[in-house]
Structure 1
């Protein structure tokens, strides 16, 4: 009888250990709600920073010549690209879904990066909870037409195809809502703990800066865009970070380029945006063609350092905006 009882206890203990291991294997970093960030824009949010191409300015080169150890967190002890298990990404690019743990290769192809890489590392390091980044970006799109919020669907003709005003705005919102409805499939650790839409990141401007009419309307269009995004996502004061179209750096002299950057920087001065909208001036992140993989100014010369620094600055700016929000929440609890 004692032997039989001992066997039962051993089986029970073994089963408890197995259950504990299974629970731990799929346990989220924190039981608190998943933190969700949205990144949107045109081709420079898609990302064209090279991993290997070129002699200078690719990510491999930056890691190998990293005297200040600014890039070592991107690789593991074997020197392979690190894949985060607490930050996840979703990017539907050219009708192909790219999803999984945050790592390199979520740019225009598997050999490129965009701002999402270091943005994800910054916010992922900040939060105890797991993070999901939903990236919605398409090349060659303007705010004046493609991303222009269509407004009340009862009073306008809905955008039905690419080229219709507001078509990619509608696509952006639809993708976000679709992913939020299938979190169990997109985030392995998601166990119904809920989610919070924490912030929105925007990097776009080329198509508006080469068109005078779009250029002139950019500030007002951006104000409307932010307000409509907040309304459509149901987050009235959703933190918003914009990276300017700073290609060519401080040597830029073209009037339209300068006026568009001025319009972007001015958006944060609106009284109702104070403290919840921040604009990153990206001109410091420009790298000359001789230090880059390609001569392609509209894609930051495909320089991985530029995209890394844009993402890093956007992430740090996002955290700066979020800190007061958390302080207010703490005071109210």
Structure 2
């Protein structure tokens, strides 16, 4: 009989080798924005219920760049140890990745790079700022071991609905932000999938939504989250089932950038 510690060590080494090999040939997606991208599905009264739907379950072909900048098998909550000031739950990322692999096996291994931080205004994501620089560092580390950044998933704007000045400036700030991301990643045609708000923190939600829906760029797709179910009582964050639905919507929108006439 093989001693337990030897078999356990072999398992760990085998998993590490598998991840290292997979990381050399992966399709990378950056997940950024604020709380609904970070994931609050199942979080009530500052506690996550721990429920992970099948569509968001772990898959050996889906990896996550963790807070230590190492690849590991991805699992919900994706933004644990990333969005450190908040309680994280289910977001759209795992449902997106599982749906993508189900629809198109050519993507092989998916590498997710979680970068979203809850409660952030788009002005905090300005080029050269702390959040932007951290996101860029994580994105650039992600490709060092091999792989290609295939897409940028962005869900943000709730914090910009609080005052009229932010809401009025949102479209120009968003346009500049997307341009900066593409420039700094040296990917001028990088597919960007953004989410139009389902809800907002303030009275100018419609103004921000209009800015999102009217922003037009090559290889930009906008997924509208309005109408997806929201968690009570705050009615700000998407429920777990809504996050699953959003993940699938993000997949469909991304595949349209690959096959624009489908």
Task: Please report the TM-score for the alignment, with normalisation by the length of structure 1.
Answer: 0.62
In the alignment, which of 193, 207, 229 is matched to residue 286 of structure 1?
229
In the alignment, which of 166, 169, 173 is matched to residue 217 of structure 1?
169
Structure 1 residues 256 and 85, CA, compared in 2 at 3 Å: closer, same or farther? same
1:315 counterpart = 2:258: no
Structure 1 residues 317 and 28, CA, compared in 2 at 3 Å: closer, same or farther? farther
Structure 1 residue 211: deviation in Å? 2.2
1:221-271 CA distances to partner (integer Å, 9 max, x unpaired)? 1111111111100111000000112127xxx9x751101000000113xxx
In the alignment, which of 185, 189, 198 is matched to residue 150 of structure 2?
198
CA contact (8 A) 2:69 2:141 kept: no
1:295 counterpart = 2:233: yes
Q: Which runs of 5+ in 1 are unaligned?
A: 1-21, 64-70, 75-81, 151-165, 184-193, 328-333
For these two proteins, the number of residue pairs brought into alignment is 238
Structure 1 residue 105: deviation in Å? 2.5
Q: Which runs of 5+ in 2 are unaligned?
A: 1-13, 82-86
In the alignment, which of 63, 82, 91 is matched to residue 88 of structure 1?
63
2:8 is matched with which residue?
Answer: none
Distance of 1:171 and 1:30 partners within structure 2: 24
1:162 is matched with which residue?
Answer: none
2:112 is matched with which residue?
Answer: 133
Structure 1 residue 117: deviation in Å? 1.6
1:174 is matched with which residue?
Answer: 137
Distance of 2:233 and 2:70 partners within structure 1: 28
Distance of 1:224 and 1:39 partners within structure 2: 18
Structure 1 residues 115 and 216, CA, compared in 2 at 3 Å: closer, same or farther? same
Structure 1 residue 324: deviation in Å? 4.3
1:12 is matched with which residue?
Answer: none
Structure 1 residue 84: deviation in Å? 0.5
1:31-52 CA distances to partner (integer Å, 9 max, x unpaired)? 994211111011221111118x
1:305-332 CA distances to partner (integer Å, 9 max, x unpaired)? 122222221122111112249x9xxxxx
1:121 is matched with which residue?
Answer: 98
Q: CA RMSD in A?
A: 3.3
Distance of 1:312 and 1:224 partners within structure 2: 27
Specify the SS of the correspondent of 1:112.
coil
CA contact (8 A) 1:104 1:112 kept: yes
Structure 1 residues 91 and 211, CA, compared in 2 at 3 Å: closer, same or farther? farther
Structure 1 residue 286: deviation in Å? 2.7
Structure 1 residue 88: deviation in Å? 0.7
2:77 is matched with which residue?
Answer: 105
2:210 is matched with which residue?
Answer: 262
CA contact (8 A) 1:47 1:108 kept: no
1:277 counterpart = 2:213: no
Distance of 2:225 and 2:69 partners within structure 1: 29
1:149 is matched with which residue?
Answer: 127
CA contact (8 A) 2:19 2:72 kept: no
Task: Please report the TM-score for the alignment, with normalisation by the length of structure 2.
Answer: 0.78
Distance of 1:108 and 1:297 partners within structure 2: 22
